[in-house]
Amino acid sequence: MSAAQVTESIRQLIAERSGLVVPERDFQVLRGYVSARMVATACQDGLEYLELISNGTNAGAEFTQLVKLVTVGHTRFFRNPGQLAALRDIVLPALIASRTATGDTLAGSTRAVGDVGARPLRILSAGCSTGEEPYSLAMLLLAEEQKRACPPFEIIATDISPDSLAKARADVLVRRAQVRRERFHRRLHETLLRDR
């Protein structure tokens, strides 16, 4: 098997096991990642590395290391402004209009779209890395909620990288702690002013 064939087999294995598709234009980049992992694992050639990630005793852990290299991991708040603008200006108004026109609410309920009990809008943020994209969606939807009858919403955020998800979870806890601390200080301040 040639080096190119081994790399192609690894590319296919990544797609089968993880659902990640490494585009052909990134073939050389993948080859570089495979070479780096071969050095790290002391594999003599690509075929040995392919065997390691396919059937080796530590196949799962090594495959995870390779996938970490392949995934983008790039994230920031309001990363794709065009998509967010389309959600705000086109998708959300159309959803609200559709729900209003069809009376689409909770099953058997007569609650309107803006009611707390209305069926929530569910958004999947796939490949969210450490969470900035879903937080951007939440900020956008909360801002829109103040302007119009916006349905309640849920955002489900996923990523293939265990490290990114762990960081996102930790950041969520930090953000929750900050919000709770701000609420506590605000209540304390209001109580002190009231008791004067």
Tokens coding 125: 């943020």
pTM: 0.62
Q: What is the mean pLDDT of residues 113-127?
A: 72
pLDDT recorded at residue 135: 83
Please state, in angstroms and rounded to a whole number, the distance separating the CA atoms of residues 74 and 80: 12
Please state, in angstroms and rounded to a whole number, the distance separating the CA atoms of residues 165 and 146: 30
* Domain count along the chain: 2
Q: Let me know if residue 142 belongs to a domain.
A: yes
Closest CA to 157 of 195, 188, 123: 123
Q: Which of 48, 70, 92 is the last residue of a domain?
A: 70
Please state, in angstroms and rounded to a whole number, the distance separating the CA atoms of residues 196 and 186: 16
Residue whose tokens read 């939440």: 138
Q: Let me know if residue 96 belongs to a domain.
A: yes
pLDDT tens profile 147-193: 766 778 899 988 888 888 888 888 775 666 566 666 666 665 566 56
Q: Would you tell me how many other CB atoms lie within 10 Å of the CB of residue 108?
A: 5
Please state, in angstroms and rounded to a whole number, the distance separating the CA atoms of residues 79 and 129: 12
Same domain, yes or no, for 96 and 51? no
Q: Let me know if residue 75 belongs to a domain.
A: no
Task: Give, as one character, the DSSP assignment of residue 26.
Answer: G
Q: Taking 70 as the threshold, does the pLDDT of residue 138 lie above it?
A: yes
Same domain, yes or no, for 51 and 107? no
The boundaries of the domain holding residue 12 are 3-70
* pLDDT confidence bin for 48, thresholds 50/70/90: very high
